Structure 1
Amino acid sequence: MRKSRRFNPIKFISLVLLLISMGLIANNYFWGQDEIIFDSSKVISHIASQNKLFSSDQEDFINTEEELLAAVVAMILAWEGEREFMIPALTYEQVEAGIQSAITSMKDYPGYYSAVSSTESATSDVSLSLRVNYKITKTEFDTSVKKAEAIVDEIIQDGMTPFEKTLAIHDYLVDHIVYTKDVEAGEEYIYTMYGALIHGDAVCQGYAEAFHYLSTMAGLETIIIQGTAGEQAHAWNLVQLEEEWYHVDVTWDDPVMPGGTQVKRYDYMNITSEQMSKDHQYIAEDYPVATGKQYNYYVYMDLYAEQASDLIKRLQRFFDEQGNKIEIKTGYDIDQIYVEEVLSQLQSGSYRSLQYSVNPVQNTIILSDVIY
């Protein structure tokens, strides 16, 4: 299995040392009073804004593909638009590979990957002119970073468990973002955490970027997965809780129902790779295998019915207590017809009417608006 791409402090510092050795970052930024200044509990998000990078009007001599990768990363972190590189030792193929590797590696820097819109390059035998286009401005990015810091201060409390942090971030995003699929000119921000956190409008990439950034700031290790769902490009997350990985798809837990009503769900909060693969497709070997079950939302919240008899007992107790809403995940396959049959069996003397929804892929049921 190939090593997954995720925010790694050791890898991060190694890249910084390479950039310093190349003269791309002033060596007094990460070093002070003979020790590394690095706070692993917060995202290092303003590398360029707080430091002088090698300016675009200076000649950057690049001798290897690795050096080009590091230089392009530094360029993006500095939010530079254009730069000239001297590349006498590199082939065209190496240049293209280096640029693509740099863009892909931005997944290691929460918030930056989706901010890059496209790149344009022109090469000669000895030089490279590179232009990076961004979906948002640096000011907009900085605004979203400040908003993220405020959100974490608001929703993450001392003593929270990793599960509680994940739940708080999941619920905040579902409560404050509206899924937007119609992109108008000049609205590329919906692909970024800026769109998600500042405008409250985003597509799946914006949801995933926001979850990635907030989770990293909260001290959780997360990854953005690029795949497909429903035959469309899709993005979601992996989160590590106590050394086990779980899939989280905040976008699909924030569905827009007929009439425009949004409903908070937990069908895709902390599920296994096997469960996610039922309706999401991705290159599995590129990412860790998620096998954790303990912190699945329904299991952890004691809303899991392993067998049919467990479901009957839980629903009967719910009706006996005249509850108004309940969510349950089953350990066996269900569909709408099955749920209707179960509810019909329990209706006599239990309730008069109710609303319900079923996700037959993830085997979840929601009952609400019960009238007795």
Structure 2
Amino acid sequence: MQKIRFLPLLCVVLMLFTAPTLLAQQEPDTPYPAETMLSVRMMPPGERSLRNFLYPKLMAQEGSIQLPAGTSYNLLVQTLDNMRNDYPELFHIESYRVHYQRNQPDVAQSISPNYLCSAEEASALRKQLLETAQSWVDENPDPLALYERLVQNTTYSPDSMWQHAAVGALLYGEATCAGYAQAISLLYRLAGIPCATIIGEASDTSGETGLHAWNLTNFGFLDATWGAAFDGHVFHSNYAMGEADMSIDHTPNRGYTFPDLSGVPNYYQAHGLYVSTEQELLTQLMRLVDGETVEIQLSPDLYARYAAAMKDKPSDIVTFCAEAAGVEIPFYDPCRILSDKAHRVLLLIPHPELAEQ
């Protein structure tokens, strides 16, 4: 898990020019509808104005950008970090230097961006990226289908050149968490779905915490990086999460203002895969007889009973159901079982020989 940030290298220079005045700037001409920029709704006026000023200059790959008079250094860094993290089309920006006067270190005078490629190369890559993303949307604009396709066609890799960008995920099939998150933002926005990239920390199944990126939509939080399960199967425990579920293992970096997601069902509730009793669990497990893959979420009480009875050994779930429900089951442990204990999710994949019986 990695967080993508600009690491400003402070370059103290004496600026002997008059900076432009920050007037009302036109909204960025993004490749997706402005109303799909969910992050804009969390942006203070000063940051929005500075973003509108910087966006066309960064897209044009200007080598030196003189800033409006009185630009706050901290606001500049915040704005640039947010733009780099939440605008997939700005993949070409690697880092930047901030210039300020020695006697006013809190006021930024200009920036010198470092770009990963030439303007011509970036334009060609951007065209390819947008065409690929649009083709995915045209084939199936459903948000769940886009999420599953990205998970199934992308491998987590920290070693590629475009690892932190949607370019890596959609064009090369390799990305880190930032690449997954930016790809989701681009796909969803092109599909007309409001979406934002969230930066913060997350804790994996071993309890280790690291920098991470994920997404927020109008139907919940989602983390495509953690969607891959086994042999092409997709985990949905991090899809359409409410804020309470998200906060179990995800901590946003700063004071985001999130929409009210109370009452919005998660993936399992929406698809009838949330089970509260042993009988409901048994009904789901019987689908394995037909060779179906079963992914379910247990209620807190049911999961507590299951964990206590089986001493936290998910591979014995069939025995647990048989004993709890008082019935005989025509098979025993005929599946591979993966679990997300934090979200009480079980993914049961039938053995090939079961489907042949």
- TM over 0.5, yes or no? yes
Residue 220 (structure 1) shift:
0.4
Deviation of 1:357 after TM superposition, in Å, equals: 1.2
1:239 is aligned to 2:217? yes
CA RMSD of aligned residues (A): 3.7
After the TM superposition, which residues 313-328 of structure 1 pair with which residues of structure 2 at under 5 Å, given as runs? Answer: 313-315=283-285, 317-319=286-288, 321-328=289-296
Could you say which residue in structure 1 is the equivalent of 2:344?
Answer: 363
Deviation by residue 1:207-255 (Cα, 9 ceiling, x = unmatched)? 00000011001000011110111311000001114xxxx0100000125
Mapped contact 2:85–2:182 kept (Cα < 8 A) = no
- CA separation of 1:108 and 1:284: change in aligned 2, threshold 3 A: closer
Change (3 A) 1:312 1:69: closer
* Structure-2 residue corresponding to 1:148: 130
Pairwise CA distance, 1:283: 4.5
- Tell me if structure 2 keeps the 8 A contact 1:68–1:95: no
Matched to 1:75, the amino acid is K
Partner of 1:74: 56
> What is the aligned counterpart of 2:33 among 22, 29, 40?
40
Q: Which residue of structure 2 lines up, in the alignment, with residue 134 of structure 1?
A: 115
Asked if the contact 1:357/1:365 (under 8 Å) is kept, the reply is yes
| Matched position secondary structure for 2:290 | coil
TM (norm. structure 2) is 0.71
The code of the aligned residue for 1:253 comes to G
Using the TM superposition, give the Cα deviation of residue 149 of structure 1 relative to its aligned residue in structure 2, in angstroms: 3.4
> Structure 2 CA distance, aligned partners of 1:110 and 1:84?
21
Identity %: 19
One-letter amino acid of the structure 2 residue matched with residue 281 of structure 1: T
When residues 222 and 65 of structure 1 are mapped into structure 2, their CA distance, relative to the original with a 3 A threshold, is: closer
SS in 1 for 2:339: strand
Matched ranges for 1:345-364 at <5 A: 345=320, 349-352=329-332, 353-364=334-345
Matches within 5 A, 1:291-302: 291-292=261-262, 294-302=264-272
Equivalent residue of 1:19, what SS? coil
* Number of the residue aligned with 2:146: 169
How do residues 1-372 of structure 1 correspond to structure 2 at under 5 angstroms?
A: 18-19=24-25, 40=33, 70-84=52-66, 90=70, 94-106=71-83, 110-112=87-89, 115-124=92-101, 128-135=109-116, 137-138=118-119, 139-140=121-122, 142-156=124-138, 165-181=142-158, 183=159, 187-230=160-203, 231-241=209-219, 246-255=220-229, 263-283=233-253, 285-289=255-259, 291-292=261-262, 294-315=264-285, 317-319=286-288, 321-332=289-300, 333=303, 335=307, 337=312, 339-345=314-320, 349-352=329-332, 353-370=334-351, 371=354
Aligned residues: 301
**Partner residue, 1:54:** none
**Higher normalized contact order (CA 8 Å, seq sep 6+, divided by chain length):** 2
Give the whole-Å Cα distance in 2 for the aligned partners of 1:302 and 1:96: 50
Change in Cα spacing, 1:355 to 1:222, as seen in structure 2 (3 Å) is same
Distance in 2 (alpha carbons) for counterparts of 1:121 and 1:225: 24
Paired with 1:270 and 1:65, the residues of 2 have a C-alpha distance of 28
Is contact 2:164–2:179 with CA below 8 Å preserved after alignment?
Answer: yes
Shift of 1:354: 1.9
Q: Which runs of 5+ in 2 are unaligned?
A: 1-21, 38-45, 204-208, 323-327
Q: Which residue of 2 aligns with 1:8?
A: none
Q: How big is the shift at 1:190?
A: 0.4
Give the secondary-structure state (helix, strand or coil) at the position aligned to 1:265: coil
Shift of 1:291: 2.7
- CA 1:122–1:208 in structure 2 vs 1: closer, same or farther (change >3 Å)? same
Q: Secondary structure at the match of 2:279?
A: helix
> TM (normalized to structure 1)?
0.68
Shift of the alpha carbon at 1:346?
5.2
For 2:80, what is the secondary structure of its paired residue? Answer: helix
Cα deviation for residue 177 of structure 1 reads 0.8
Residues 59 and 90, structure 2, Cα contact 8 Å, conserved in 1: no
- In 2 relative to 1, CA 238–266 (structure 1 residues): closer, same or farther, beyond 3 Å? same
